[in-house]
Amino acid sequence: MIKRVLSGIRATGRLHLGNYLGAVKGMLELQNDPGYETLFMVADIHTITTPFNIDELRKNRREVITDYLAAGLNPEKSIIFLQSEVSEHIELAFYFSSVTTIARMQHLPTYKDKVKQHPGHNTMALLNYPVLMAADILIYKASLVPVGIDQEPHLEVTREIARKMNQQYGTDFPEPVRFATKGEYIPSLKGEGKMSKSVEGSYINMTDDLDTIKIKLSKVPTDSGKEGGPIPKIGGVRSLYELYKLFAPEKFDEDFTKPYESGLIRYQSLKNHLAEITYKELKPIQEKRKKLETDIAFVDNVIKEGAEKARTIASKTVNEVRQKMGLL
Ligand code: ADP
Ligand code: TRP
């Protein structure tokens, strides 16, 4: 049987390099493998689990679709859609919530982090975040999910829900696993934590021009460069290390390891070179994006057709579940 793949990104803004390297690159790899049927959505309902602005949300849903298409997701190969247009996800999430304890949800590190970030906004929707994500994946019986490593706790919950549903109601949900890319964890440009939209100064946007990338990289904190010895796997040096390794693997030893070990590394020129090779990869994506921005009818059509195709699969699963649970 052909394997299904599903992934999504919340509609919180333009995509950054962490999203691209940790998630979108995995989506592209699987889309272009004929062994898989791929579905990629914008998780716009997940976006309302933390405080949001209505106009921004409306705009960002489309921005993420446009970023997907610009990066190479192809509506002829993948089903590309908005989560909110397939309301069956919400229905299935409610059924799933009947096999999920509150305690399990409250102990998730992702939940605790979000409550810390938004202390006045500890809502039912936020607590239900992983249950809705499980529904997103299992409604298509997807077994492979290209996401960054930070999403692993949510996949664990998805597998638990699949197991419980199968045991209690005789459904046939798979236990999905994460599809990891080489960039499954891109560190922040600030040298602490991961690159993230919610931390100003931590990220490079996929739409940044060369000068902006140069300025951002020039601010990455480093050591003196004269230390020598093994490269430290912490702080800004690690961030540069991870990015350099991904963008220039063949020159990594020559440009990074050897100069570092001998205490001769010159960060300024290394950063400039990193900016150039990063931009080189982003430039064609940015050019394609510019064209897509003016092709409103094309993007509208992708969204419309994607929803129709997704709905056909989703409604079938929901009907099966209703039947098995005695609701039909
Ligand atoms: P953010 O943390 O910036 O809000 P999201 O939570 O919307 O990003 O993540 C969208 C996708 O991008 C997920 O698959 C996530 O794992 C991946 N991702 C986000 N940040 C990174 C990162 N720094 N490194 C690798 N993958 C990442
Ligand atoms: N939780 C994911 C994130 O923050 C977004 C998401 C929602 C998702 N539903 C999904 C990812 C289903 C993969 C599959 O990035």
Ligand 2 contacts CB of residue 44 (under 6 A): no
CB burial readout 246-271, b (16+ within 10 A) else e: bbbeeeeeebbbebbeeeebebeebb
Give 155 Cα–ligand 1 centroid separation in angstroms.
14
pLDDT for position 2:
84
Give 106 Cα–ligand 1 centroid separation in angstroms.
21
Give 43 Cα–ligand 2 centroid separation in angstroms.
7
In which domain, by residue range, is 220 found?
A: 210-290
pLDDT for position 259:
95
Please report how the helices 129-138 and 109-117 are oriented relative to each other, as an axis angle in degrees rounded to 10.
Answer: 130
Give 22 Cα–ligand 1 centroid separation in angstroms.
7
Regarding whether 221 and 90 lie in a shared domain, the answer is no
Could you report the per-residue pLDDT of 25-58, keeping only the tens digit for each?
A: 999 999 999 999 999 999 999 999 999 999 999 9
Give 28 Cα–ligand 1 centroid separation in angstroms.
16
Burial label for 180, CB within 10 Å (0-12, 13-18, 19+), is middle
How many domains does one find in the chain? 2
Regarding whether 273 and 171 lie in a shared domain, the answer is no
Q: Which SS3 state, helix, strand or coil, does residue 82 take?
A: strand
pLDDT for position 1:
74
Q: What is the mean pLDDT of residues 237-255?
A: 94
Residue 201 lies in a domain: no
Residue 306 lies in a domain: yes
Summarize the chain as % helix, strand, coil (round to 5): 60, 10, 30
Nearest atom in ligand 2 to 154's CA: 1
Considering every ligand atom, which ligand is closest to the CA of 140?
2
Give 17 Cα–ligand 1 centroid separation in angstroms.
9
Nearest CA to ligand 2 atom 8: 8
Considering every ligand atom, which ligand is closest to the CA of 186?
1
Give 10 Cα–ligand 2 centroid separation in angstroms.
7
Ligand 1 contacts CB of residue 196 (under 6 A): yes
Regarding whether 77 and 179 lie in a shared domain, the answer is yes
Ligand 2 contacts CB of residue 137 (under 6 A): yes
Considering every ligand atom, which ligand is closest to the CA of 198?
1
pLDDT for position 227:
87
Q: What is the mean pLDDT of residues 206-219?
A: 97
Is the pLDDT at 104 greater than 80? The verdict is: yes
Cα 252-255-258 angle, rounded to 5 deg: 90
Q: How many CB atoms lie within 10 A of CB 122?
A: 12
Whole-angstrom Cα distance, residue 209 to residue 204?
10
* CATH code where residue 251 lies: 1.10.240.10
Regarding whether 231 and 100 lie in a shared domain, the answer is no
Could you report the per-residue pLDDT of 105-146, keeping only the tens digit for each?
A: 999 999 999 999 999 999 999 999 999 999 999 999 999 999
Q: What is the mean pLDDT of residues 178-207?
A: 95
Whole-angstrom Cα distance, residue 19 to residue 29?
14
pLDDT for position 326:
98
Nearest atom in ligand 1 to 19's CA: 12
Q: What is the mean pLDDT of residues 291-317?
A: 97
Nearest CA to ligand 2 atom 9: 133
* CATH code where residue 84 lies: 3.40.50.620
Regarding whether 145 and 113 lie in a shared domain, the answer is yes
Which of 7, 19, 188, 242 for mutating ligand 1's site (highest number of atoms within 8 Å of CB)? Answer: 19
Q: Which of 108-112, 141-145, 223-227, 295-299 has the lowest mean pLDDT?
A: 223-227
pLDDT for position 198:
85
Whole-angstrom Cα distance, residue 83 to residue 1?
25
Whole-angstrom Cα distance, residue 143 to residue 173?
9
Ligand 1 contacts CB of residue 10 (under 6 A): yes
pLDDT for position 245:
95
Could you report the per-residue pLDDT of 149-190, keeping only the tens digit for each?
A: 999 999 999 999 999 999 999 999 999 999 999 999 999 999
Query: How far is Cα of residue 173 from the mean position of the Cα atoms in its chain?
Result: 23
For tokens 């649970």, name the residue.
Answer: 325
Nearest CA to ligand 1 atom 19: 19
Regarding whether 137 and 258 lie in a shared domain, the answer is no
Residue 265 lies in a domain: yes
Whole-angstrom Cα distance, residue 174 to residue 195?
31
Ligand 2 contacts CB of residue 6 (under 6 A): yes
Regarding whether 169 and 96 lie in a shared domain, the answer is yes
pLDDT, mean over the chain: 96
Cα 315-310-207 angle, rounded to 5 deg: 150
- For β-strands 144-146 and 177-179, DSSP reports them as parallel
Regarding whether 217 and 304 lie in a shared domain, the answer is no
pLDDT for position 295:
96
